[in-house]
Amino acid sequence: MIGGEYCAIVFDLDGTLADTAVDIRDALVRALAAEGLPPVDVASVRLMIGGGPKLLVERALHRLGVPARQDLVDKLAKAFHAEAKGHGNRNSRLFEGAESALRQLHRSGVRIGLCSNKPDDLCRDLVRDLGVDAYIDEILGSSEHMPKKPDPALLLGVIERLGVPPGETLYVGDSATDVATARAAGVPVMLVSYGYTLRNASQLGADGVIDSIAELTRPGQLQKSA
């Protein structure tokens, strides 16, 4: 620990550090259109995000009243990935205060990781496009070789790469899935209040709720609980 504070912070990405719903929706709509399916609105997509491409597609098909056959889900998930990769992150933005907070935390010596159910290559593309890759020490997104959150493997994998014990690491996310992931990993968790979830963050069982990533830079905010 650094002066009794956490040595590392691992962040979720979509809905926590960055507002990516419009780009995700656009890629999803293009994938659906290629199969002759109608679009879904961005407000609905915002609540579908968080489980990776296949779950996103399944939720979209359910919203459209279309049977989620496995072959269709697989085809749409693959198409979504290609669309997201090809069109980039034109409309995605860091939430207010996130960039300055990441910079300040990095400069203060806190190790910073990123853990997301978003495919690993798309995570890295987004972090680069947002201009914060210099502040993030380790990134681990989903892949065929790693189970998705709430399985703790992704989070524990990032923590291992950071070289910091789980007990000296704080996880910051936006959803019930993030809370479950942290609990399974034995890591304390804070949620942001503005994330991609229908339920209020204060009802999800986190150790704390913040209104901005910038709050993490306040004196005493990262004090490790006894």
Q: Which active-site residues does the annotation give?
A: 12
Q: Domain extents for the chain?
A: 8-19+92-217, 21-87
How is domain 8-19+92-217 classified at the CATH fold level? Rossmann fold (3.40.50)
Confidence at residue 2, expressed as pLDDT on a 0 to 100 scale: 39
pLDDT digits (tens, 9 = 90+) for 153-193: 999 999 999 999 999 999 999 999 999 999 999 999 999 99
Q: What's this model's pTM, rounded to 2 decimal places?
A: 0.94
Residue type, 203: Q
Per-residue pLDDT, 223: 66
What amino acid occupies position 169? T
What burial class does residue 199 get, using C-beta atoms within 10 Å of its C-beta: 0-12 exposed, 13-18 middle, 19+ buried?
Answer: exposed
For 50-101, how does the pLDDT look when each residue is reduced to its tens digit (9 = 90+)?
999 999 999 999 999 999 999 999 999 999 999 999 998 999 999 999 999 9
Which two tokens mark 138?
């380790």
Assign a CATH topology to domain 21-87.
DNA polymerase; domain 1 (1.10.150)
Which is nearest to 119 in space by CA: 175, 53, 45, 56?
A: 53
| 1, 102, 128, 182 alpha-carbon torsion, rounded to 10° | 50
Residue 26 pLDDT: 98
Count CA atoms within 13 Å of residue 6 on its CB side: 29
- b/e 17-47 (16+ beta carbons within 10 angstroms → b): bbbbbbbbbbbbbbbbeeeebebbeeeebbe
